[in-house]
Amino acid sequence: MNVIKRASLLEFWERHPETEQALKEWFHTVRHATWTCMDDVRRTYPKAKILNAERVRFEICGGNYRLIVAFKFSARIAFIKFLGTHAEYDRVDALTVDRY
């Protein structure tokens, strides 16, 4: 899948170095994924929370950080919508946030 706004990951792990390895692994997995539906995402990431038909919340570093991604499976695109601390996540609407 194409990950839109990969630079957001890089910028984030520069500010939060403890997330670098986890975000690199997530990016590598998604980049090489051949997902066609949310069930595919769930099989790869059983702890991911499906928010609606297009959005998923991933826990990073044991849940200390949250990543929200919108998928357009037909175009093989993953759009990063939010990446932040758990506390920052608690202050946004996961279904509408579009920080990046």
Cα–Cα distance, 24 to 89 (Å, whole number): 20
Q: What is the pLDDT of residue 51?
A: 97
What is 2-90's CATH number?
A: 3.30.2310
Pairing status of strand 55-60 against strand 65-72 = antiparallel
What is each CA distance from 63 to 4, 34, 35, 39, 67, in whole angstroms? 22, 25, 23, 21, 10
Q: What is the pLDDT of residue 78?
A: 98
> Could you tell me the pTM of the whole model?
0.93
pLDDT tens column, 52-97 = 999 999 999 999 999 999 999 999 999 999 999 999 999 999 999 9
Q: Is 80 exceeded by the pLDDT of residue 100?
A: no
In this structure, what token pair is assigned to residue 98?
A: 């579009």
Cα–Cα distance, 14 to 60 (Å, whole number): 15
Q: Is 90 exceeded by the pLDDT of residue 99?
A: no
pLDDT tens column, 10-42 = 999 999 999 999 999 999 999 999 999 999 999
